[in-house]
């Protein structure tokens, strides 16, 4: 059996508590507070103590899906990515860059937010970029 | 955070979380801190144990309110009035900080004229806060050596949200309670990376680091870095994009990790827009209500399955680290986005790791310029951090405001957009529970959390319940001009009479079917989630 803890940051609110994810044989089995973290100093709230519980929840998406009529059907990455690129570029061509937009995410990392806004600003050519900070 | 940016030149929390412990007075409004930010509440408790006075102004007797030295329940949406009232008393008693006002601020004379009219009597009439209590709060806040203001969505989710925030900034500047440790104006961010996503320009009017899309100089810098022409026009906000779909102007939308079907106000309207749009891509870890509407769904990864950084509510950069591989064929989100960029034919997405992405963004973002993955491995850094020798900034505005002088704004009280009337006689406000998070996508699949609470309810004052003829635990129909839901009654004397509260986590009884999306703050474009008019009707009297 291989057990390790991985130092990371809680994913719930903006406080940014330091947590340790407990990993046993490649599976996350628990969340512990970091004792030496300057914000939470060894404490966590009820959401934090259970931050790992949603990771393996039923309904986690594991394959790209493409709509065929009323249904979303499994597809390959290549197919899904090509389709996304093709449709966005077609719409840009037909209606102009400001006919497209994105909702980025306050749940996602800085790097992911940077990349999505870069796609819309630099590749599509619109500033229709927002997220739910207001909500 | 348009209000703080206008007053100070920066829209972020002015001070860092550990500093709360050493404050002498903490004024909390529109934040259910123990519920939504428990580990910040714990710092506030420590401050209290060390002798700080805790003041809570909130229409509900939250856990924090119960522990406070003073708690008053203001009328919904009356915040500008009580803040002006505090400033009126402070000026009259000479408790303001004249040298701070003279040296560090502008616009004071205009402010003075407006707050002149906010006499304690008038303020009591508008807000319901007794004038004696208002005076007590003014004295403690102004006279304490280090006073800190804490607020959250209860202040911003109003049509006067920007006005409310500017008023709090006025109060801090009037008394010089800013620019020092354990003082300041501190918005608590509700989601792990709200601060970072805003820093990274997931907003329609800025490039990363709050650089204006309308500035030619800034745009040229990004055109050079990204290798192509950029739009000089400010884009649309979330709510404006939903409206643009209805108007046939927005044809394609990419949604990353959000569930606007539940989180946006007036969900019926959002659902129609997402049904009507020509092409919708959703990148998420669950098949959310929003993802079900998509043309393409791309499976992303949870925080345990990828590397990256979050920026905490107090501008603190922290890493998340990969503990396991993404599930099934899912991919790390940064990698998916690079693949999308490349599939569109762009050369600007050739990154081997999140660390390389960070290096590019730090290069273009002056407030992040001195930060890299190696430094945050060992150091706690709060932005701004402008070069490799800069230790970062736990608190802001020490010797000067980011905009130069702090700007007072004279603001008159305006009532909420929708007031109670004969047809909809009660008022509704919304919020979070300690056990759940936002739209519940993550928490409602967590057994330990659903064990605590797993259904919506409406908090009512016992006297209101009595006049409606409903009992605790009974199901009622709650309707507004926009929609209707059925929920169980939970009686509590802790809520202001005439006001009801519903947590917004529950899709089957979504509070946002009732809220007033049409009423937006004119500047921040935040919908007025925190006040609308409702009616409550008895069903058949059965216990739910």
Tens digit of each residue's pLDDT (9 = 90 or more) over A90-134: 999 999 999 999 999 999 999 999 999 999 999 999 999 999 755
Instruction: Return the domain boundaries, chain B.
Output: 2-185, 194-382, 426-543
Same fold for the domain at B2-185 and the one at B426-543? no
**Cβ contacts (< 8 Å) between B192 and chain A: which residues?**
9-14, 16, 106-107
Output the 3-class SS for chain A: CCEEEEEEECCCCCCCCEEEEEEECCEEEEEEECCCCCCCCCCCCHHHHCCCCCCCCCCECCCCEEEECCEEEECCHHHHHHHHHHHHHHHHHHHCHHHEEEECCCCCCHHHHHHHHHHHHHHHCCCCEECHHHC
The yes-or-no verdict on residue B518 having pLDDT over 80 is no
**Cβ contacts (< 8 Å) between B204 and chain A: which residues?**
127-130
The yes-or-no verdict on residue B445 having pLDDT over 70 is yes
Q: Report, in angstroms and rounded to the nearest whole number, the Rg of chain A calculated over CA atoms.
A: 20
Q: What is the mean pLDDT of residues B318-343?
A: 98
User: Among the residues of B384-461, which ranges form H helices?
Assistant: 447-450
The whole-number pLDDT of residue B8 equals 95
The whole-number pLDDT of residue B97 equals 98
B404: which DSSP letter? B
With CB atoms and an 8 Å threshold, state whether B39 touches A87: no
CATH number of B2-185: 3.40.228.10
Q: What is the mean pLDDT of residues B294-317?
A: 97
Q: What is the mean pLDDT of residues A63-71?
A: 96
> Do residues B37 and A13 touch, judged by C-beta distance below 8 A?
yes
User: Among the residues of B78-119, which ranges form H helices?
Assistant: 79-93, 98-104, 108-115
Q: What is the mean pLDDT of residues B391-404?
A: 94
CB within 8 Å of B385: residues ≥ 6 apart:
B367, B368, B369, B370, B371, B391, B392, B393
3-class state of residue B224 by DSSP: helix
> Do residues B79 and B531 touch, judged by C-beta distance below 8 A?
no
Span A75-86, pLDDT tens digits? 999 999 999 999
State whether the Cα torsion B62-B68-B69-B74 is positive or negative.
Answer: negative
Q: What is the mean pLDDT of residues B399-410?
A: 95
The yes-or-no verdict on residue B308 having pLDDT over 90 is yes
Q: How far apart are CA B178 and CA B142, in angstroms?
A: 12
Q: What is the mean pLDDT of residues B214-227?
A: 98
The whole-number pLDDT of residue A133 equals 59
Torsion, Cα of B131, B133, B138, B143 (10° steps)? 140
> Do residues A130 and B250 touch, judged by C-beta distance below 8 A?
no
Q: How confident is the model at residue B541 (pLDDT cuts 50, 70, 90)?
A: low
> Domain B194-382: which topology?
Rossmann fold (3.40.50)
Q: Name the percent of chain B lying above pLDDT 90.
A: 82
> Do residues B497 and B424 touch, judged by C-beta distance below 8 A?
no
Tell me the average pLDDT of chain B: 94
Torsion, Cα of A41, A45, A49, A52 (10° steps)? -110
The yes-or-no verdict on residue A135 having pLDDT over 80 is no
| Nearest in space to B424 (alpha carbons), one of B359, B382, B483, B364 | B483
**63-82 in B: which are within 8 Å (CB) of A?**
none
Span B468-487, pLDDT tens digits? 999 999 999 999 999 999 99
| Nearest in space to B36 (alpha carbons), one of B438, B453, B314 | B438
**Upstream peptide bond of B384 is cis (omega within 30 degrees of 0):** yes
Q: A119: distance to nearest CA of chain B, Å?
A: 6
The whole-number pLDDT of residue B513 equals 87
The yes-or-no verdict on residue B220 having pLDDT over 50 is yes
Q: How confident is the model at residue B239 (pLDDT cuts 50, 70, 90)?
A: confident
Q: Is the domain B426-543 a CATH 2.40.40.20 member?
A: yes
The interface predicted TM-score (ipTM) is 0.98
**405-444 in B: which are within 8 Å (CB) of A?**
434-435, 437, 441-443
This prediction's pTM: 0.91
**Cβ contacts (< 8 Å) between B205 and chain A: which residues?**
127
The yes-or-no verdict on residue B194 having pLDDT over 80 is yes
The whole-number pLDDT of residue A132 equals 73
Q: Which CATH superfamily is domain A3-49 in?
A: ADC-like domains (2.20.25.90)
Q: Looking at the complex, does the CB of residue B190 fall below 8 Å from at least one CB of chain A? A: yes
Q: What is the mean pLDDT of residues B225-246?
A: 95
3-class state of residue B310 by DSSP: strand
Q: How far apart are CA A47 and CA B432, in angstroms?
A: 13
Instruction: Return the domain boundaries, chain A.
Output: 3-49, 61-95, 97-135
> Do residues A88 and B346 touch, judged by C-beta distance below 8 A?
no
With CB atoms and an 8 Å threshold, state whether A127 touches B310: no
The whole-number pLDDT of residue B517 equals 75
The whole-number pLDDT of residue B272 equals 94
The yes-or-no verdict on residue B544 having pLDDT over 50 is no
| Nearest in space to B269 (alpha carbons), one of B513, B41, B455, B484 | B513
Span B142-165, pLDDT tens digits? 999 999 999 999 998 899 999 999
List the single best residue of B150, B248, B294, B304 to mutate versus A (max A Cβ within 10 A): B304
């Amino acid at each position: 059996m291989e057990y390790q803890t991985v130092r990371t940051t809680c994913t719930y609110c903006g406080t940014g508590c330091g947590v340790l994810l407990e990993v046993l044989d490649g599976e996350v089995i628990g969340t512990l507070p970091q004792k030496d973290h300057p914000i939470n100093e060894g404490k966590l709230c009820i959401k934090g103590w259970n931050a790992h519980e949603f990771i393996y929840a039923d309904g986690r998406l594991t394959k790209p899906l493409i709509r065929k009529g009323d249904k979303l059907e499994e597809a390959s990455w290549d197919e899904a990515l090509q389709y996304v690129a093709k449709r966005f570029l077609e719409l840009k061509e037909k209606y102009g860059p400001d006919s497209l937009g994105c909702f980025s995410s306050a749940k996602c990392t800085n790097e992911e937010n940077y990349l999505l806004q870069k796609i819309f600003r630099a590749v599509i050519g619109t500033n229709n970029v927002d997220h739910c900070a207001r909500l | 955070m348009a209000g703080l940016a206008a007053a100070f030149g920066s829209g972020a929390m002015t001070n860092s979380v550990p500093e709360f412990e050493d404050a002498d007075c903490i004024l909390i409004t529109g934040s259910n801190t123990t519920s939504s930010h428990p580990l910040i509440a714990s710092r506030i408790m420590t401050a209290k144990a060390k002798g700080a006075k805790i003041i809570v102004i909130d229409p509900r007797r939250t856990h924090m309110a119960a522990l406070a030295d003073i708690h008053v329940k203001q009328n919904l949406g009356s915040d500008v009035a009580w803040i002006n009232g505090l400033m009126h008393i402070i000026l009259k008693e000479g408790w303001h900080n004249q040298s701070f006002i003279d040296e560090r601020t502008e616009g004071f004379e205009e402010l003075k004229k407006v707050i002149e009219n906010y006499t304690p009597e008038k303020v009591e009439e508008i807000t319901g806060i007794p004038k004696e209590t208002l005076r007590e709060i003014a004295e403690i806040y102004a006279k304490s050596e280090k006073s800190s203001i804490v607020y959250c969505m209860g202040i911003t989710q109003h049509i006067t949200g920007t006005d409310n925030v500017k008023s709090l900034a006025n109060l801090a500047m009037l008394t010089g309670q800013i620019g020092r440790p354990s003082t300041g104006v501190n918005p608590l961010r509700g989601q792990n990376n709200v601060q970072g996503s805003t820093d990274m320009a997931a907003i329609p009017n800025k490039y990363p680091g709050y650089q204006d899309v309308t500035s030619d100089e800034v745009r040229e810098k990004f055109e050079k870095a990204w290798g192509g022409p950029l739009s000089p026009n400010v884009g649309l906000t979330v709510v404006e994009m939903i409206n643009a779909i209805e108007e046939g102007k927005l044809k394609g939308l990419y949604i990353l990790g959000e569930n606007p079907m539940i989180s946006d106000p007036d969900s019926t309207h959002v659902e129609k827009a997402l049904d009507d749009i020509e092409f919708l891509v959703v990148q998420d870890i669950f098949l959310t209500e929003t993802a079900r509407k998509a043309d393409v769904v791309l499976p992303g990864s949870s925080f345990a399955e990828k590397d990256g950084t979050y920026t905490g509510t107090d501008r603190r950069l922290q890493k998340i680290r990969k503990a396991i591989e993404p599930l099934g064929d899912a991919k790390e989100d940064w990698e998916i986005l690079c693949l999308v960029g490349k599939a569109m034919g762009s050369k600007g997405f050739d990154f081997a790791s999140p660390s390389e992405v960070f290096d590019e963004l730090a290069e273009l973002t002056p407030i992040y310029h001195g930060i890299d993955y190696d430094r945050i491995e060992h150091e706690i850094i709060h932005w701004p951090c402008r070069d490799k020798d800069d230790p970062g900034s736990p608190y802001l505005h020490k010797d000067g405001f980011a905009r130069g002088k702090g700007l007072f704004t004279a603001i008159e009280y305006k009532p909420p957009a929708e007031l109670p009337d004969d047809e909809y006689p009660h008022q509704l406000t919304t919020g979070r529970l300690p056990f759940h998070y936002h739209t519940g996508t993550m928490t409602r699949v967590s057994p330990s959390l659903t064990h605590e609470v797993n259904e919506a309810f409406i908090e009512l004052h016992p006297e209101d319940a009595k006049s409606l003829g409903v009992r605790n635990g009974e199901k009622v129909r709650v309707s507004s001009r926009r929609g209707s839901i059925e929920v169980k009654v939970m009686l509590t004397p802790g809520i202001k009479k005439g006001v009801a509260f519903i947590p917004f986590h529950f899709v089957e009884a979504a509070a946002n079917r009732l809220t007033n999306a049409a009423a937006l703050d004119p500047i921040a474009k935040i919908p007025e989630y925190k006040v609308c008019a409702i009616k409550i009707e008895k069903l058949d009297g059965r216990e739910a």
